[in-house]
């Protein structure tokens, strides 16, 4: 179990620009929630002109609370995003978000997570109580309110959710995992059972998870400096450099070389 939140920028396009425009930080939840929750993410901004941020989604459900100075706080659940997510921030505002671990939302909602994939719904519409506002006060206050809210939802023990979480974590950590059939065979389970487990508890299939984590690694490496794209494509399991370029471009909207140039 982690003792500090992730420090990577995977999924965030042009993370340097994001950090220049807003205050972004991650915090861990209470210890009893960590089997289910990856981290809380907090954003505050005071902008003189609109700011667009693009994110390549993780295989994770997020619950997001938006607070604007000129309106009431809103709360929504965002299923695993199948496409590039773009948000425009303006004026002054705050967000308090919960990124669940893959498989981690299922014990709270108790329904197949694939029902939320590619969808964003008001939190109250899916039967989970919203409670009071969570975007005000210090970071500690915001995190304590999120801890209390999630604890009040009463996650049920779910061995299958724990299994799904462990399998996805293995895929994320081990870049040599490139094929669903080999991964299923390694764990002594059928491809069919692995697919059902992922759709029910993660929201997307194992092939999608493998490809998304490998692509996020390519995006992160592009932000780190010059890259031998042919070598990286081979390392990440793409059939060739053209395959990586096609997938990178299809998801982000720009080619790897153009993205790297845009970072200066």
What is the DSSP-derived secondary structure letter of residue 225?
S
Q: Give the per-residue pLDDT at 23.
A: 95
What is the average pLDDT across 106-121?
96
Q: Give the per-residue pLDDT at 164.
A: 98
| pLDDT tens digits for range 171-218 | 999 988 999 999 999 999 999 999 999 999 999 999 999 999 999 988
- pLDDT above 70: residue 2: no
Q: Give the per-residue pLDDT at 222.
A: 79
What is the average pLDDT across 100-124?
96
Q: Give the per-residue pLDDT at 66.
A: 92
- pLDDT above 90: residue 70: no
Q: CB within 8 A of 211, min separation 6: which ones?
A: 247
Q: Give the per-residue pLDDT at 1.
A: 57
**Residue 249 · residue 229 · CB < 8 Å:** no
Question: What SS3 class is residue 228?
Answer: coil
| pLDDT tens digits for range 200-212 | 999 999 999 999 9
Average pLDDT, the chain: 92
Res. 82 pLDDT band, cuts 50 70 90 = confident
More confident residue, 218 or 79: 79
Q: CB within 8 A of 147, min separation 6: which ones?
A: 29, 30, 33
pTM, two decimal places = 0.93
Spatial separation of the C-alpha atoms in residues 173 and 170, rounded to whole Å: 5
- pLDDT above 80: residue 225: no
H-only helix segments in the chain: 15-21, 106-109, 139-152, 159-173, 180-186, 191-201, 206-222, 229-235, 241-252, 256-262
What is the average pLDDT across 257-262?
86
- pLDDT above 70: residue 52: yes
């Amino acid at each position: 179990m982690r003792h500090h939140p992730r420090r990577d920028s995977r999924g965030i396009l042009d993370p340097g620009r994001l950090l220049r425009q807003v205050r972004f930080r991650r915090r861990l939840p209470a210890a009893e929630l960590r089997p289910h929750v990856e981290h809380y993410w907090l954003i505050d901004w005071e902008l003189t002109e609109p700011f667009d941020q693009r994110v390549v989604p993780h295989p994770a459900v997020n619950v997001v609370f938006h607070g604007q100075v000129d309106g009431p706080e809103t709360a929504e659940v965002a299923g695993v995003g199948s496409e590039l997510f773009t948000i425009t921030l303006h004026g002054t505002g705050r967000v308090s978000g919960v990124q669940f671990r893959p498989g981690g939302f299922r014990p709270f909602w108790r329904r197949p997570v694939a029902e939320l994939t590619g969808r964003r719904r008001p939190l109250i519409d899916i039967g989970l109580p919203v409670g009071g506002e969570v975007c005000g006060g210090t970071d500690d206050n915001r995190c304590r309110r999120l801890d209390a809210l999630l604890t009040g939802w009463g996650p049920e023990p779910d061995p299958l959710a724990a299994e799904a979480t462990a399998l996805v974590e293995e895929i994320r950590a081990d870049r040599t995992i490139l094929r669903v059939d080999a991964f299923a065979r390694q764990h002594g389970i059928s491809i069919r059972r692995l697919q059902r487990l992922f759709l029910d508890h993660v929201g997307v299939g194992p092939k999608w998870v493998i490809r998304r984590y490998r692509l996020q690694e390519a995006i992160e490496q592009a932000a780190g400096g010059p890259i031998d794209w042919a070598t990286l494509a081979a390392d990440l399991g793409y059939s060739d450099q053209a395959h990586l370029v096609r997938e990178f471009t299809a998801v982000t909207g720009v080619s790897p070389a153009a993205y790297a140039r845009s970072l200066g």
